[in-house]
């Protein structure tokens, strides 16, 4: 019944991007949801001098944007406003620094607040990749609900790129054809996340964490070697639940092995809830038409009050450096923005609102091939997680709990899980700060 409307809105990428104003605000789906055909057509408009100034609001760019509109030569008319910068923006920043130009405008904030922020800014046009329309006239954006779906719904013009390779999932992850201004069809491979082999340190840190995870726990798992090691080691657990920001292959494998049932969750029972997903072709096939998989907007998934409604929430994320008072930086290196808070603080707080919940932040004890301690007297970067919120810190040397500890006790606990070569220097730093 919606085919006539579909046909009336179907057009070429070149015609579709004419709906994007030459001066105004644009947002786009993040990561896998970036639409390559539309971005290529928009780059053609830029090259033709048809764009005056476009402020682009987005998170976690990948190759589709990097190879089109996020090129340095377009920075006079394209103004990137990333909420989560990647290597793409870091390269642009460095090129701009060499020319004494500011070309990237980082947007600080927790991931859960991004839909509200974009609504308040006002978005003229939104572009994203979707699965083919279903019988009800809905397009599923299977890998991304996050800010993608909420912002698509409030943008003045919504332009979708239909890709049959995009999985169709359940939850709150679709837009209706009545909300769509233009449709483009383009079959292309989905962005694939490279597999990272586990290291002995990943396995050792994972072992410390797994000992803290009971049966029936509800998991939030971040990206990286340690979370992958944790998932692999949890295959013998029973009746686990999933309520996570990121759905990835290691979590899918945990679901497929039977360790996950979601039967003891208090909200979204029997469902694997996530807000974005990334993996490989087999992973996307697992997501497709799987009624246990529910993608929901980030202002729901990452809302600490929602997270805390489930019991035994175990949140596992990474950090870059932690101060001896428990303050954590997970986003900047040597004072320069490297990534972003993402949803880390959302889950740090949400897990501790959960009955029996635990917030765990994990990392190798050193960086720079052993030359730099991640445990420091005082963090240099911005505060991602205030010392008032942190709970468990884990390295290969063990677990330090911040709860109920004085500053002196926190310092002692963190020094004990630092690399041995740095412990004496940390003790000196703690005395200079008045902690010991």
Domain boundaries, the chain: 3-185, 200-432
Position 223 scores a pLDDT of 85
Where b means 16+ CB within 10 Å and e means fewer, 355-369 reads eebbbbbbbbbbeee
Interhelix angle 225-233/200-210, rounded to 10 degrees, is 50
> Looking at 142-301, which runs of residues are DSSP E strands?
157-162, 170-171, 174-176, 182-185, 218-221, 241-247, 272-277, 293-295
Position 194 scores a pLDDT of 84
- Full-prediction pTM beyond 0.85? yes
Given 43, 161, 245, 327, which residue is catalytic?
A: 245
Q: Give me the DSSP letters along 235-269.
A: TT--SBEEEEEEE-HHHHHHHHTT-B--TT-SSST
For residues 124 and 105, is the Cβ–Cβ distance under 8 A? no
pLDDT tens profile 104-153: 999 999 999 999 999 999 999 999 999 999 999 999 998 999 999 999 99
Whole-angstrom Cα distance, residue 259 to residue 253?
9
Position 332 scores a pLDDT of 92
Task: Establish whether domains 3-185 and 200-432 are of one fold.
Answer: yes
Position 386 scores a pLDDT of 97
Is residue 245 among the annotated active site residues? yes
| H or E element that contains 115 | helix 114-121
Whole-angstrom Cα distance, residue 270 to residue 171?
12
Position 222 scores a pLDDT of 85
For residues 279 and 195, is the Cβ–Cβ distance under 8 A? no
End-to-end Cα separation, the chain, in angstroms? 73
Reading the block at residue 253, the tokens are 């494998």
* 3.40.430.10, 3.10.580.10, 3.40.640.10, 3.40.1080.20: CATH of 200-432: 3.40.1080.20
Position 209 scores a pLDDT of 97
* 2.60.120.1440, 3.40.1080.10, 3.40.50.1980, 3.40.50.300: CATH of 3-185: 3.40.1080.10
DSSP class of residue 10 equals B
Position 318 scores a pLDDT of 95
Residues of the chain with pLDDT under 70: none
Reading the block at residue 16, the tokens are 């579709």
Q: Who contacts 195 (Cβ-Cβ below 8 Å, separation ≥6)?
A: 249, 280
For residues 203 and 197, is the Cβ–Cβ distance under 8 A? no
Reading the block at residue 254, the tokens are 């945990």
């Amino acid at each position: 019944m919606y085919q006539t409307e579909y046909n009336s809105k179907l057009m070429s990428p070149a015609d579709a991007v004419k709906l994007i104003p030459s001066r105004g605000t644009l947002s786009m789906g993040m990561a896998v949801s970036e639409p390559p055909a539309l971005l290529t057509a928009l780059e053609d408009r830029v090259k033709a001098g048809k764009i005056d100034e476009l402020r682009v609001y987005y998170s976690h760019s990948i190759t589709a944007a990097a190879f089109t509109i996020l090129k340095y030569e377009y920075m006079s008319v394209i103004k990137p406003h990333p909420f989560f910068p990647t290597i793409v923006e870091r390269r642009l920043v460095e090129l701009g620094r060499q020319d004494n130009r500011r070309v990237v405008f980082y947007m600080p904030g927790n991931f859960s607040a991004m839909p509200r922020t974009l609504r308040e800014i006002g978005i003229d046009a939104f572009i994203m990749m979707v699965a083919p329309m279903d019988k009800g006239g809905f397009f599923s954006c299977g890998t991304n609900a996050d800010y993608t779906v909420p912002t698509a719904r409030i943008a003045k013009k919504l332009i979708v790129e239909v890709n049959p390779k995009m999985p169709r999932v359940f939850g709150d992850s679709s837009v209706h054809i009545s909300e769509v201004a233009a449709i483009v069809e383009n079959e292309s491979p989905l962005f694939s996340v490279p597999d990272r082999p586990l290291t002995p340190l990943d396995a050792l840190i994972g072992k410390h964490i797994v000992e803290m995870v009971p049966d029936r726990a509800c998991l939030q798992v971040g990206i990286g070697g340690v979370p992958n090691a944790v998932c692999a080691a949890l295959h013998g657990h029973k009746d686990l639940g999933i309520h996570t920001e990121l759905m990835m292959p290691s979590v899918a494998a945990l679901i497929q092995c039977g360790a996950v049932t979601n039967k003891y969750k208090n909200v979204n029972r029997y469902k694997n809830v996530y807000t974005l997903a990334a993996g490989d072709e087999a992973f996307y096939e697992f997501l497709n038409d799987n009624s246990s998989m529910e993608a929901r907007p980030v202002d729901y998934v990452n809302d600490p009050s929602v997270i805390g409604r489930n019991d035994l929430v175990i949140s596992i994320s990474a950090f870059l450096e932690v101060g001896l008072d428990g303050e954590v930086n997970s986003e900047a290196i040597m004072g320069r923005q490297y990534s972003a808070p993402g949803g880390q603080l959302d889950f740090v707080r949400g897990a501790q609102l959960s009955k029996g919940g635990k917030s765990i932040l994990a990392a190798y004890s050193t960086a720079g091939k052993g030359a730099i301690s991640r445990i420091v007297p005082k963090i240099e970067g911005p505060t991602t997680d205030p010392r008032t919120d942190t709970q468990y810190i884990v390295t290969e040397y063990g677990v330090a709990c911040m709860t109920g500890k004085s500053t002196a006790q926190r310092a002692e606990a963190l020094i004990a899980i630092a690399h041995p070569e740095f412990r004496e220097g940390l003790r000196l730093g703690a005395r200079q700060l008045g902690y010991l």
